[in-house]
Chains A and B, each alone.
Chain A
Amino acid sequence: MVKYYLGLDGGSTYLKAALLRKGAVTSTMVCSTGIDNNTAAKKIVEELCKQNQISPSDIGYIMATGYSRKILDVADDDISEITAHAYGVRVTAPTEYRPGMVIDIGGQDSKIIYLDANYNVKNFTMNDKCAAGTGKFMEVIAQILETTIDQVGPLSLESNAPCDINSTCVVFAQSEVISLVARKFDRRDILAGMHLSMAKRIIKMMKKSEKGGDILMTGGGALNIGIHKAFEEEMMKDVYIAQYPQFNGAIGAALIASERGGV
């Protein structure tokens, strides 16, 4: 009997789960992390089993990743987000993508992973001391502009003249946005400016020597078309989007789980 393999990505904002069978994604699920990661993880495993009409014993191995990876009792082992994301793109990258760079925009951090031709991690850079350039930043700005996180991307694409947002800190950028609102700037222009400023921040993190190769975006941030376009504009090249971007870490963890469990 072919086993299922489960990856759990306990992020700062959401808990993501991905179920794999024969190296392909069978099912994904997401819930808010809340304050009790452990219970949330137990519930999500039960839900996934119910949805796929399998029993927990059909799952060969559970691999955890993300901030709370070390405290999830349901998991058999854990792996860092970097390795998980690097594995995830083996499944989620579009076929034309030649491995080079992965940009992951999460709720509270963003990271850049450099891959060799065989999808092995060469190196990585992380930003997690500052919220600028993360999903949290988008959320804060969306709130000020009285819109929702899923609308910021499409709205910003309607902009003709993106505003300049120069502050590199979320708190200051927030007050900068407020003053732009007060000066009656169009919120679509403000959003477009926000995406450009985020992209610039993340590009600054990139290693100069690694700017060749294709770029793939993962993480919840990749769901935002506005930031995608901003990256293309700033990098002056095509940027690919992973399939199931939000679940990339969980899928990677599940893939590693399947290697451990012997596929």
Chain B
Amino acid sequence: MAGRIHTNERQRELFIKKSTRVARSYLNRAKALPGLPDATNPFFDALEDVYIELKDLSEGESKYKKSIGTLCVMVPSELIYAAKARPVRLCSGSYTAYSIGDDYIPRDACPLVKAVMGFGQIQALPAFDQCSLIVAPVTCDCKKKLAGALETVKNIVPVHVPPLKREDADIEIFLRELYRLVPILEEETGEKITARSLAEGICIVGKAQYEMSRFLKYRKHDPALVQGTHVMAVMNAYSYMPAERWTTCMHRLNLEMESRLQKQQFVGKAKQPRILVTGSPIAFPNIKIPLLIEEMGGILAADETCMGERGLYDPVSVIDPGFDGMMRAFASRYTKPCTCPVFVDNSQRIYRIKQMVREHKVQGIVYHVLRGCLVYDYEYQIMEEEFGKMDIPIIRVESDYNEEDVEQLRIRIEAFIELIKLKEYAKHKKGRR
């Protein structure tokens, strides 16, 4: 066995070298985009701590008894905060972990689950390894099988998410699952989850959502006050920062945005094509799509992705402030407004995107499909039809967790941005006639 341990040590060493290099190069590229707000530093630092410094996340955060890993957007963080633990969202975009996970997961599965599996196998990322258990919602097929596969290396709690959410009975299923989670979390941290602690949890996340909603006002501004790639970094940092600290940093970012607005200090040139990104998750360090959009002269004005705005958009609305009432509010909040395509009927996603197109003055949509991500690919057709009617160009770009497809993506995104520019130019010319 000694030989095997040795190989593993060597593999881990090489893994760390490679993965920190990739993370650093993407962080640097993101920071190099013009108009980086000073207040985004703590968010970039958080990503750096996780992916480059490989820091112990519990340092200086003694108020949390444990780190609880989560996947997908259907795990109520409120419940985890109520148990005096901190949630860490483990959906990752690591190319290096992906190549490790590739050995354990079938070829046609999506790269995100491969990356998560890779971290489970290599045990080189403290943020991942520190999680004493992982709450894994059973959503798409890949995540479902990932929950099973990870059980060999981690303590996993799969949570059933109903594929239907129209009837009360469907939500009841999810409610039962959340109730099942309560004693598991309590045992993990030794803290009782009470009505009071649930309310505290709602407050913690609610404040983050409040700052987010304020931030959205600035993000809608045309000309842009902030680059979308920087926003993606801020949103990805939410996965790894305790919500309270994230909220404080977000408050400062909002102050900086307000001051930019007052001074009319914009990040780009006028008439930059405003792009919305939707589709498969964009998880750090896999931020090549936002980067390419903005490096090619577009502005990422909005995102409808689960690592971005979706997770923090809808607040929990409590009607009955008792324990059960709050649990019901979670069951409802984490299914009904969720625009994840794993649900059978997901028509609200198109309504939401149409709303965003209007409010963020979007001129084109980049539809991101990770290789093997069937559920998002399914919904592309309807998007193309609907936005075709509205004369909003949409382009499907497929990508994987590696850098080999960058040139192919670049030409598509570059041509797409030119298309929007020329379209606006033609409109302008017609208007003048």
Residues of chain A having any CB pair with chain B under 8 Å: 79-83, 118, 120-124, 126, 128-129, 207, 209
Supposing A80-B414, A126-B412, A129-B405 touch, asked if A121 and B419 sit within 8 A by C-beta, the answer is yes
Q: How far, in angstroms, from A209 to B415 measured CA to CA in the complex?
A: 20
Q: How far, in angstroms, from A110 to B302 measured CA to CA in the complex?
A: 31
Q: B422's contact among A81, A83, A124, A209, by CB below 8 Å, is which?
A: A83
B contact residues around A118 at 8 Å (CB): 426
Q: Could you give 15 example pairs across A and B, Cβ below 8 Å?
A: A80-B414, A81-B411, A81-B415, A82-B411, A83-B419, A83-B422, A121-B418, A121-B422, A124-B419, A126-B411, A126-B412, A128-B411, A129-B405, A209-B384, A209-B385
Contact A80 B418 (CB under 8 A): yes
* Shortest distance from the beta carbon of B117 to any chain A beta carbon, whole Å: 25
Task: Report the contact-size class of chain B (Cβ under 8 Å from the partner).
Answer: 10 to 19
Which residue of chain B has the shortest Cβ distance to A124 in the bound complex? B415
B contact residues around A128 at 8 Å (CB): 408, 411
* Shortest distance from the beta carbon of B405 to any chain A beta carbon, whole Å: 7
Q: How far, in angstroms, from A128 to B393 measured CA to CA in the complex?
A: 21
Which residue of chain B has the shortest Cβ distance to A210 in the bound complex? B388
A contact residues around B414 at 8 Å (CB): 80
B contact residues around A129 at 8 Å (CB): 405, 408
Per-residue interface assignment for chain B, residues 404 to 433, with 1 indicating a CB less than 8 Å from any chain A CB and 0 otherwise: 010010011011001100110010000000
Q: A120's contact among B395, B405, B422, by CB below 8 Å, is which?
A: B422
Q: How far, in angstroms, from A1 to B217 measured CA to CA in the complex?
A: 53
* Shortest distance from the beta carbon of A44 to any chain B beta carbon, whole Å: 22
Residues of chain B having any CB pair with chain A under 8 Å: 384-385, 388, 393-395, 405, 408, 411-412, 414-415, 418-419, 422-423, 426
A contact residues around B388 at 8 Å (CB): 209
* Shortest distance from the beta carbon of A35 to any chain B beta carbon, whole Å: 17
Q: How far, in angstroms, from A121 to B414 measured CA to CA in the complex?
A: 13
Contact B385 A122 (CB under 8 A): no
Contact A123 B419 (CB under 8 A): yes
Q: How far, in angstroms, from A126 to B413 measured CA to CA in the complex?
A: 11
A contact residues around B405 at 8 Å (CB): 129
Q: How far, in angstroms, from A28 to B378 measured CA to CA in the complex?
A: 45
* Shortest distance from the beta carbon of B84 to any chain A beta carbon, whole Å: 49
B contact residues around A120 at 8 Å (CB): 422-423, 426
Given contact pairs A81-B415, A120-B423, a sample of 20 additional A-B residue pairs in the complex whose CB atoms are under 8 Å apart: A79-B418, A80-B411, A80-B415, A81-B411, A82-B415, A83-B415, A83-B419, A83-B422, A120-B422, A121-B418, A121-B419, A121-B422, A122-B393, A122-B419, A123-B395, A124-B395, A126-B411, A128-B411, A129-B405, A209-B384
B contact residues around A207 at 8 Å (CB): 384
Which residue of chain A has the shortest Cβ distance to B420 in the bound complex? A121
Q: How far, in angstroms, from A79 to B74 measured CA to CA in the complex?
A: 43
Which residue of chain A has the shortest Cβ distance to B405 in the bound complex? A129
Q: How far, in angstroms, from A123 to B388 measured CA to CA in the complex?
A: 10
Which residue of chain A has the shortest Cβ distance to B425 in the bound complex? A120
Across the A-B interface, the 10 shortest Cβ-Cβ residue pairs: A82-B415, A80-B415, A121-B419, A83-B418, A80-B414, A128-B408, A120-B426, A80-B418, A123-B393, A80-B411
Q: How far, in angstroms, from A15 to B184 measured CA to CA in the complex?
A: 66
Q: How far, in angstroms, from A79 to B426 measured CA to CA in the complex?
A: 17
A contact residues around B423 at 8 Å (CB): 120-121
A contact residues around B419 at 8 Å (CB): 82-83, 121-124
Q: How far, in angstroms, from A129 to B393 measured CA to CA in the complex?
A: 23
A contact residues around B426 at 8 Å (CB): 118, 120
Contact B418 A82 (CB under 8 A): yes
Which residue of chain B has the shortest Cβ distance to A78 in the bound complex? B414
* Shortest distance from the beta carbon of B111 to any chain A beta carbon, whole Å: 15
